[in-house]
Amino acid sequence: MSSDTRIHREAQTTDEFKGMTGAQIFVDMIQRKGVSHIFGYPGGAILPVFDAIYGIEGIDFILARHEQGAGHMAEGFARAGGDVGVALVTSGPGATNLVTPLQDALMDGCPIVVFTGQVATTAVGSDAFQEADILGITRPATKWNVQVRHVAELPRRINEAFAVATAGRPGPVLVDLPKDVMAAVCTEDLSPEIQIPYKTSAPEVKHDEVSAAVQMLKQAKKPIIYAGQGVLTGECWDELRALAEKAQIPVTTTLLGMGAFDERNPLSLHMLGMHGSAYANYAMQAADVILCVGARFDDRVTGRLADFAPEAKLASTQGRGGIIHLEIAPKQIGKLVRPDVSVVGDCKASLGQILEKIEPSSSDERRLWLSQIDEWKKQNPFRYTRSQPGALMKPQTVIEELYNQTKERDDVVIATGVGQHQMWAAQFYRWTQPHSVVTSGGLGTMGFGVPAVIGAKVAVPHKICIDIDGDASFSMTAMEMATAAEYNVNAKWLVLNNEYQGMVRQWQDLFYDERHMATKMKNPDFVKLAEAMHCKGIRCSDQESLGDAMHEFLTHNDSPVLLECLVDKNEHCYPMVAAGKALHEMVFAPETMEPSPDRRLASVEAP
């Protein structure tokens, strides 16, 4: 067993929990873990725990309107604040309603610990009222899950849960709590020490792997850094910036990596992929060396795998370049794209060592490469056609106005739902601060934004926390506005209302001959809905009044607030890499008159 794997087979016992019920032990342990907020929903099987929490100072319980909302609040708390998010729900449907947040957290590497009630151990397996095999259901949706079978093992299981959730690549853990275990009184000495094998620290970075990466970067003529959420998890954004500027390497990020590199920096290529910038996609296809830091080559980033990064693959066969992958989780390396050099370990340590060994770059090849990228930026910016006076405004205009009114601040956190609005936010808001974006990546969970921004605001109450949402995504969890109002969590929701499931309609327009099946939405009056839930509601229906409406939205701090913006129903999100296409085979807005993919490929040849 490796030195960085901890397992206590003869752990020390203690009598400090004697005489306490399981529920009291639970409260004691989560206090030791520094848990200040719990999101959840009560029920019969978990009532002993809720009763134990009653009156406890230092633990704020936030009652969601649905268990899925509680799970996303825990995610938002973790993503914005960097701590573990905690959810507490009852058995059966209470537990199964958390499957979506668990899978969302697993795919995006988000540390949450979920505690679920369960029927008594004597009734497990009998199809008792509100019983569900939550371990079997959530095993593929968690890093680890466990059912506590005896009160004496409870402290240890809680320690193990938090350890696993935060070790290596973070993720979700579920602990199932049978009702009789939580009501039982501890009568014996017990051990709270961890007794399962898990990685306590990242693998030590190997010097030969770092040296190989440095050598490849030194000979690169057209390098690019592709940064993911691992840069944020590893808190190595300073090292990333220093390396990019020292070696003059342009940087593109994933959706979840936004904020890891200041997008106002001239070396920034912004987000890449399906709805990423054209210049990032062209640069990825033309680069001879790709340094991937804390990302996993998701299909939304790579496009058609066979034609991903052709120049880097060619350079690899000729011994003059290739792909470098820095990653903390070994199973992510080579899963989709085979790297030529892999550096397993914490990204902060890996980048730090590369930074020490790399030399400043001022070569003619590098200047030509950056010049080519500047040309692509000028030719292919994020753009759209603005609405004529009197017409419904474009959704991009709304996001640009939000950015213009907040760009001088460094205390803004943006959450999103999932859909066109999410991609427009990525394109038209400039991301400059770490942990400033809270969004659902791998699972693409509609309804994520409304509760997630509540969790974010709870984690960082001194910041302005705004959910950019679409009407369809917002409607899935809109009831959580009442949660924010009840607990005085002054979150903000900016709803782009086009009365459609916009992204699905876009696909129907482009690939299904405009057959709009099940995508048009008959929405409620969102302003009245907000007011019914004790929030302030504002509506903006024209571009001319947008500035004033946005100012009112941003400066209202007496309650949670919603701004509904009525936007063009027919707007599409471009550029777009369609399913089955390569990164350079982007579809552009018809009016932009972009060159064909073949002509564009000709322009990315080595200078």
* Residue extents of the structural domains in the chain: 5-199, 207-379, 395-566
Q: Is the pLDDT at 590 greater than 90, yes or no?
A: no
How high is the pLDDT of residue 267? 98
Residues with catalytic roles: 67, 129-130, 179, 503
Residue closest to 109 by CA, chosen among 255, 243, 325, 7:
255
Q: Looking at per-residue confidence, does 362 or 540 come out higher?
A: 540
Angle between helix 278-286 and helix 364-379 axes, rounded to 10 deg: 150
Q: Is the pLDDT at 606 greater than 50, yes or no?
A: no
Q: Is the pLDDT at 597 greater than 50, yes or no?
A: no
| Both structure tokens of 249 | 């390497």
Cis peptide bond prior to 575, omega within 30° of 0: yes
The CATH number of 207-379 is: 3.40.50.1220
How high is the pLDDT of residue 82? 76
Give Cα separations from 143 to 40, 139, 185, 225 (angstroms).
20, 8, 30, 29
What single DSSP character describes residue 323? E
Pairing verdict, β 223-227 and 251-253 = parallel
DSSP 27-81: HHHHHHTT--EEEE---GGGHHHHHHHTT-TT-EEEE-SSHHHHHHHHHHHHHHH
3-class DSSP assignment, residue 596: coil
Per residue in 182-225, pLDDT (tens digit) is 999 999 888 888 888 776 677 788 889 999 999 999 999 999 99
Q: What is the mean pLDDT of the chain?
A: 93
Is 395-566 a domain of CATH 3.40.50.970? yes
The C-alpha angle 23, 25, 30, rounded to 5 degrees, equals: 100
Per residue in 2-13, pLDDT (tens digit) is 334 444 444 578
The C-alpha angle 78, 84, 86, rounded to 5 degrees, equals: 95
3-class DSSP assignment, residue 433: coil
Average pLDDT over residues 492-504: 97
How far, in Å, CA of 253 to CA of 122, rounded? 51
What single DSSP character describes residue 84? P
Phi, psi of 495 (to 5 degrees): -105, 120
Q: Is the pLDDT at 593 greater than 50, yes or no?
A: no
| 338 Rama class: left (phi>0) / alpha (psi -120 to 50) / beta | beta
What single DSSP character describes residue 355? H
Q: Above pLDDT 90, what percent of the chain? A: 88
pLDDT tier at 54, thresholds 50, 70, 90? very high
Per residue in 462-495, pLDDT (tens digit) is 999 999 999 999 999 999 999 999 999 999 999 9
| Both structure tokens of 203 | 């693998």
Q: Looking at 148-287, which runs of residues are DSSP E strands?
A: 172-178, 198-199, 223-227, 251-253, 268-271
Q: Is the pLDDT at 437 greater than 80, yes or no?
A: yes
Neighbouring C-alpha atoms within 13 Å toward the C-beta of 49:
34
How high is the pLDDT of residue 200? 66
Q: Is the pLDDT at 594 greater than 80, yes or no?
A: no
Per residue in 302-324, pLDDT (tens digit) is 999 999 999 999 999 999 999 99
DSSP 490-549: --EEEEEE-SB-HHHHHHHHHHSTT---S-B-----HHHHHHHTT-EEEEE-SGGGHHHH
Per residue in 90-137, pLDDT (tens digit) is 999 999 999 999 999 999 999 999 999 999 999 999 999 999 999 999
Average pLDDT over residues 551-558: 97
How high is the pLDDT of residue 599? 31
How high is the pLDDT of residue 595? 43
How high is the pLDDT of residue 604? 35
Domain 5-199 and domain 207-379 have a common topology: yes
The model's pTM? 0.94
Per residue in 571-588, pLDDT (tens digit) is 999 999 999 999 999 999
Average pLDDT over residues 75-100: 96
Q: Is the dihedral of CA 403, 405, 410, 411 positive or negative?
A: negative
Do 165 and 153 touch, CB atoms closer than 8 A? no
The CATH number of 5-199 is: 3.40.50.970
Q: Is the pLDDT at 408 greater than 90, yes or no?
A: yes
Residue closest to 472 by CA, chosen among 511, 526, 403:
526
Range from 3-17, 30-44, 268-282, 324-338 carrying the lowest mean pLDDT: 3-17
Instruction: Find how far residue 143's CA is from the centre of its chain.
Output: 16
Per residue in 265-297, pLDDT (tens digit) is 999 999 999 999 999 999 999 999 999 999 999
